[in-house]
A and B are shown apart, each in its own frame.
Chain A
Amino acid sequence: MNMKEDIKNEAASHTPLQGMGSSFINLENDLPGIRGPMQYSPETGKALNELAEILLHDDNNTLSRGEREMIGAYVSSENDCFYCQNVHGALAQHYFECDMQLIDDIKKDYESASISRKLKALLSIAGSVQKGGKYVTTEQVEHAKNLGATDKEIHDTVLIAAAFCMFNRYVDGLNTWAPQDRQVYIERAPMRAKEGYANIDLNK
Chain B
Amino acid sequence: MPHINVDENLPGIRSLMAFSPETATPMGKLANLMLRTNEGLSMAEREMIAAHVSYLNDCFYCQQSHGAIAACYLNGDTDLVEQVKKDYEQAEISDKMKALLSIAGSVQKGGKHVTEEQIKKAKEEGATDRDIHDTVLIAALFCMFNRYVDGLAANTPTDLSTYPLRAKQIAEHGYGNYIFSIPQPA
On A, residues with C-beta under 8 Å from B are 24-26, 37, 40-41, 43-44, 47-48, 50-51, 54-55, 58, 79-81, 125, 128-129, 132-134, 136, 138, 141, 151-152, 154-156, 158-159, 161-163, 165-175
Contacts and interface: CB of A to CB of B under 8 A. Distances in A.
B79 to A, nearest CB: 27
Contact of A133 (B34, B133, B148): B148
A199 B111 CA distance: 26
A36 to B, nearest CB: 10
B59 to A, nearest CB: 7
B133 A37 contact: yes
Interface string B18-31: 01101101110110
Contacts of A54: 22-23, 26
B3 A154 contact: yes
A159 B23 contact: yes
Contacts of A24: 114, 116, 119, 132
B110 A158 contact: no
B151 A175 contact: no
B58 A173 contact: no
Given A172-B110, A173-B114, A162 B33 contact: no
Contacts of B34: 44
Nearest to A126: B151
A43 B148 CA distance: 23
B5 interface: yes
Most buried by B among A128, A138, A151, A173: A173
Interface in B40-69: 57-59
Q: Which of B33, B145, B147 has the most CB of A within 10 A?
A: B147
Interface string B135-155: 011011101111111111100
B107 to A, nearest CB: 4
Given A151-B4, A159-B20, A50 B151 contact: no
B110 A169 contact: yes
9 contacts: A43-B33, A54-B23, A125-B151, A129-B147, A132-B58, A138-B153, A165-B147, A172-B110, A173-B111
Contacts of B92: none
B111 A81 contact: yes
B16 interface: yes
Contacts of B59: 133
B106 interface: yes
Contact of B137 (A44, A125, A151): A44
B151 A158 contact: yes
A172 B136 CA distance: 10
B13 to A, nearest CB: 11
Contacts of A138: 3, 153
Interface string B150-163: 11110000000000
Given A155-B19, A174-B133, 9 more contacts: A47-B26, A80-B112, A132-B58, A155-B16, A162-B147, A165-B144, A166-B141, A170-B136, A173-B140
B5 to A, nearest CB: 5
Given A159-B23, A173-B107, A133 B4 contact: no
Contacts of A47: 26, 29-30, 33
Contact of A129 (B33, B136, B151): B151
A132 B30 CA distance: 21
